[in-house]
Amino acid sequence: MTYKIISDTADKIKWVEYTIDGVKYEIGADSVNGVLTHLTEAEAKAKAEKEKAWNEGALNRALVDVRITRNRLLTETDFYALGDVTMSDNMKTYRQELRDITNGLDTVDKCKNVTWPTKP
């Protein structure tokens, strides 16, 4: 028996491939109740397509995370925009920087390393 650990980072195992008597098995995200399953060619192709689609959506998921944080920070300062409150120029600038935060975010790394403006 031989095995190979497949991972996308050092601490996250995606699945483990086993070969027993020349037959390939995999256990991981697509295993059923932890039971080793033999993948047919069609199943392996479907799994690869599924993983490709998931990976291609990584940027959109990262942008959603940035927007959630941005929206929360804007909500925290919404009361400054009420008619009976005078908003300082610093607060106007802060809120505009939050609204512009997604400009230029075209990679997952950029989304994960956003520099948030400091609240005045």
Q: What is the pLDDT of residue 97?
A: 97
Q: Which residue has the higher pLDDT, 68 or 43?
A: 68
More confident call, 22 vs 77: 77
Average pLDDT over residues 19-36: 64
In 10 A of CB 81, how many CB atoms?
Answer: 12
- Extract the tokens encoding 24: 């390939």
Distance CA(15)–CA(38), nearest Å, equals: 13
Residue 42 has, within 13 A of its CA and on its CB side, a CA count of 0
Confidence category of residue 45, pLDDT binned at 50, 70, 90? confident
For 49-99, write each residue's pLDDT tens digit: 888 888 888 899 999 999 999 999 999 999 888 888 888 999 999 999 999
- The structure's pTM equals 0.61
| Rounded-to-integer distance, Cα 99 and Cα 110, Å | 16
Highest mean pLDDT among 11-15, 28-32, 36-40, 96-100: 96-100
